[in-house]
C-alpha cells in the first residue's frame, strides 16, 4: 500500500457491522436506519429505473432538476441563495464531497482544524491530501466547543476548519455563539470552512444553523450534505457540496476524476425527496426523537451514564458505572456479553484517553429493536 494509507486500517463501522453479522447481535453500531425512507420517493426511483432515460452518465455537476432542488432546499430552510449552474455539485454521498473538498482545497503541509472526536473519513482524507489534522476536542459531559482551544489551534499553516454539526458521534449541535466564534476566526485568518451537515434535519430542540448563513461566511464555506440521513436512504449515496463558485470548482475539479458523475437513476428521486412537505420532516424528527428518548432511558436504566444528544442518530454513554474502563474492549466483547453491537468513541480521537470510556449507540432503529437491545443489555448487570 501507499504511505497515504499508513495507520488507517479498516473503518470501525465495517469492523463492527461484520461483528454484528458474525454473532447475530443487534447492530446499534453503524448508523443506518432499519426503516426505509419515504415510499413516494422510492416509488419514483423505481419508475425512473424502469422507464429509462437516466441510465447513462449524468452531467458532472448532477442533473439540473436535482441541483434546482438542492438550491430550493437551501432557500427554504436557510434563506441561502445558490446558483445551480456554478454553486452546487452532486456527489456520491457526503463522503465523496468531503474527500473532494479536502483534496481540492488542502495542500501538503497545510493544517486542517477538525472537531475531535472525528468522523473517520476526515482523518483519512486529510492524510491523503497530505495535510495535518489539528484537533479541537469536544469533551463530555456536554461536548461544547472550547473556543479558546480553537483560537489557540490556528497557526500560519492553517488553511481550513472542518466542521460537523449536528456532530457525529457526540450528538452536539453547535450553537450560534460557537459558530460566531468560528466565523470570526475564519474571517480574521482568511480560512476556508468545510461544513458537514448530513444530520441537518435531525435536531431535537436545538436549531441547526449552517455556518454559511453567518456574515461573511457564504463566500468562504463549502457546505456538505446528503440524502442518506434526512430521508433514511443511506445506501443511495447521493450527496452534494454547495458554496461559492470558486470553491465548488475545486471540489468539482477533484470529483470529476474520483467518480466523474454520480448515480444517475437515483437523482430524479433525490430531487423529489428534497421537496417533501413540512409534515414529512416534522414526523421524521418526532419519530427519531422518540427513539432517542427510548434508547437513552433504556441505557440509563441499565446503569450507563448517558449523554442525551441534541441531534444525529447517536447517543453516547460512559461505560465506567458498569465496571468497564475501555470502550473499545467493551465493544469488542459486547456481542458475547449481551448480543449487541455499539461503537467505541476512542477510535475517533488523537487524544484517545479523552474517548476511552465512551461508547456510541445508534437509535435509528425500530422501537421493538431498541427494546430488545435494552433487554439484552440487562445481562451486563
Residues 133-192 that bind ligand PMP (CB under 6 A): 164, 168
| E strand map for the chain | 26-27, 88-91, 111-116, 132-137, 158-164, 192-196, 221-226, 239-242, 305-307, 314-318, 340-341, 343-344, 358-362
Q: What are phi and psi of 277, to 5 degrees?
A: -80, 170
Given the complex with ligand PMP, which of 164 and 267 has the nearer CB atom? Answer: 164
Q: What are phi and psi of 272, to 5 degrees?
A: -65, -40
- For 185-196, the DSSP string reads HHHHHT-EEEEE
Residues in contact with ligand GLN by CB under 6 A are: 11, 13, 30-31, 168
Given the complex with ligand GLN, which of 158 and 291 has the nearer CB atom? Answer: 291
In the complex, least distance from residue 236 CB atom to ligand PMP, rounded to whole angstroms:
8
Scan for cell 433504556, then name that residue. Answer: 298
| Binds 30: which of ligand GLN, ligand PMP, none (CB < 5-8 Å by kind) | ligand GLN
Of 114, 108, 159, nearest in space to 135 by CA: 114
Scan for cell 439484552, then name that residue. Answer: 376
* Interface with ligand PMP, residue 196, by CB under 6 A: yes
Check: CB of residue 299 under 8 Å from CB of residue 378. Answer: no
| Binds 239: which of ligand PMP, ligand GLN, none (CB < 5-8 Å by kind) | ligand PMP
Check: CB of residue 106 under 8 Å from CB of residue 160. Answer: yes
Given the complex with ligand GLN, which of 31 and 339 has the nearer CB atom? Answer: 31
Helices (H) and strands (E) in the chain, counts: 14, 13
In the complex, least distance from residue 355 CB atom to ligand GLN, rounded to whole angstroms:
14
Check: CB of residue 255 under 8 Å from CB of residue 240. Answer: no
Q: Per-residue b/e over 79-95, b at no fewer than 16 CB within 10 Å?
A: ebebebeebbbbbbbbb
List of long-range contacts for 67-74, beta carbons under 8 Å, 24+ apart: 68/271, 69/270, 69/271, 69/272, 69/274, 69/275, 70/240, 70/242, 70/274, 72/274, 72/275, 73/274, 73/275, 74/210, 74/223, 74/242
* Interface with ligand PMP, residue 94, by CB under 6 A: yes
In the complex, least distance from residue 319 CB atom to ligand GLN, rounded to whole angstroms:
18
Given the complex with ligand GLN, which of 84 and 169 has the nearer CB atom? Answer: 169
In the complex, least distance from residue 228 CB atom to ligand PMP, rounded to whole angstroms:
4
| Binds 94: which of ligand PMP, ligand GLN, none (CB < 5-8 Å by kind) | ligand PMP
Given the complex with ligand GLN, which of 48 and 164 has the nearer CB atom? Answer: 164
Binding mask 202-241 for ligand PMP (x = CB under 6 A): ------------------------x-x-----x--x-x--
| Binds 13: which of ligand PMP, ligand GLN, none (CB < 5-8 Å by kind) | ligand GLN
For 42, the grid coordinates are 422510492
| Binds 226: which of ligand PMP, ligand GLN, none (CB < 5-8 Å by kind) | ligand PMP
Strand duo 132-137 + 111-116: pairing? parallel
Given the complex with ligand PMP, which of 154 and 362 has the nearer CB atom? Answer: 362
Check: CB of residue 343 under 8 Å from CB of residue 331. Answer: yes
3-state secondary structure of 34: coil
For 295, the grid coordinates are 434508547
- How many chain residues are in contact with ligand PMP, going by CB under 6 A? 14
Binding mask 96-135 for ligand PMP (x = CB under 6 A): -----------------------x----------------
Scan for cell 443506518, then name that residue. Answer: 32
Given the complex with ligand PMP, which of 95 and 158 has the nearer CB atom? Answer: 95
Given the complex with ligand GLN, which of 11 and 184 has the nearer CB atom? Answer: 11
Given the complex with ligand PMP, which of 44 and 224 has the nearer CB atom? Answer: 224
| Binds 232: which of ligand GLN, ligand PMP, none (CB < 5-8 Å by kind) | none
Q: What is the DSSP letter of 249?
A: H
**358, β-bridge pairs:** 318
Name the segment binding ligand PMP (CB under 6 A); options: 91-99, 171-179, 182-190, 248-256: 91-99
Residues of this chain that bind ligand PMP (CB under 6 A): 31, 93-95, 119, 164, 168, 196, 198, 226, 228, 234, 237, 239
Amino acid at each position: 500500500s501507499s504511505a497515504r494509507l499508513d495507520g488507517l486500517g479498516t473503518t470501525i463501522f465495517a469492523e463492527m457491522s461484520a461483528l454484528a453479522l458474525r454473532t447475530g447481535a443487534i447492530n446499534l453500531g453503524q448508523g443506518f436506519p432499519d426503516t426505509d425512507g419515504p415510499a413516494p420517493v422510492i416509488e419514483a426511483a423505481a419508475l425512473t429505473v424502469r422507464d429509462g432515460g437516466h441510465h447513462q452518465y449524468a452531467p458532472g455537476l448532477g442533473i439540473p432538476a436535482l441541483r434546482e432542488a438542492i438550491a430550493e432546499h437551501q432557500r427554504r430552510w436557510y434563506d441561502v441563495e445558490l446558483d445551480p449552474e456554478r454553486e452546487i455539485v452532486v456527489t456520491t454521498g457526503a463522503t465523496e464531497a468531503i474527500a473532494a473538498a479536502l483534496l481540492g482545497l488542502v495542500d501538503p503541509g497545510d493544517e486542517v482544524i477538525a472537531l475531535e472526536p472525528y468522523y473517520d473519513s476526515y482523518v483519512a482524507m486529510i492524510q491523503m491530501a497530505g495535510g495535518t489534522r489539528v484537533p479541537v476536542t469536544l469533551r463530555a459531559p456536554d461536548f461544547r466547543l472550547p473556543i479558546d482551544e480553537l483560537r489557540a489551534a490556528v497557526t500560519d499553516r492553517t488553511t481550513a476548519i472542518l466542521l460537523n454539526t449536528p456532530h457525529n458521534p457526540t450528538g452536539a449541535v453547535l450553537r450560534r455563539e460557537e459558530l460566531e466564534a468560528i466565523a470570526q476566526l475564519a474571517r480574521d485568518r482568511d480560512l476556508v470552512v468545510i461544513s458537514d451537515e448530513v444530520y441537518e434535519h435531525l435536531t431535537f430542540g436545538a436549531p441547526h444553523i449552517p455556518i454559511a448563513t453567518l456574515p461573511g461566511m457564504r463566500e468562504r464555506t463549502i457546505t456538505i450534505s446528503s440524502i442518506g440521513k434526512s430521508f433514511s436512504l443511506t445506501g443511495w449515496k447521493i450527496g452534494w457540496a454547495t458554496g461559492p463558485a470558486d470553491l465548488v470548482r475545486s471540489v468539482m475539479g477533484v470529483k470529476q476524476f474520483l467518480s466523474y458523475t454520480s448515480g444517475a437513476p437515483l437523482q430524479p428521486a433525490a430531487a423529489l425527496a428534497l421537496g417533501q412537505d413540512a409534515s414529512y420532516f416534522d414526523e421524521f424528527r418526532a419519530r427519531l426523537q422518540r427513539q432517542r428518548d427510548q434508547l437513552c432511558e433504556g441505557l440509563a436504566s441499565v446503569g450507563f451514564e448517558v449523554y442525551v444528544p441534541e441531534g444525529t442518530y447517536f447517543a453516547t454513554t460512559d461505560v465506567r458505572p458498569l465496571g468497564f474502563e475501555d470502550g473499545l474492549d467493551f465493544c469488542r466483547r459486547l456481542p458475547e456479553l449481551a448480543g449487541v453491537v455499539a461503537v467505541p468513541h476512542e477510535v475517533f480521537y488523537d487524544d484517545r484517553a479523552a474517548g476511552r470510556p465512551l461508547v456510541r449507540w445508534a437509535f435509528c432503529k425500530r422501537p421493538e429493536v431498541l427494546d430488545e437491545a435494552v433487554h439484552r443489555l440487562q445481562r451486563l448487570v
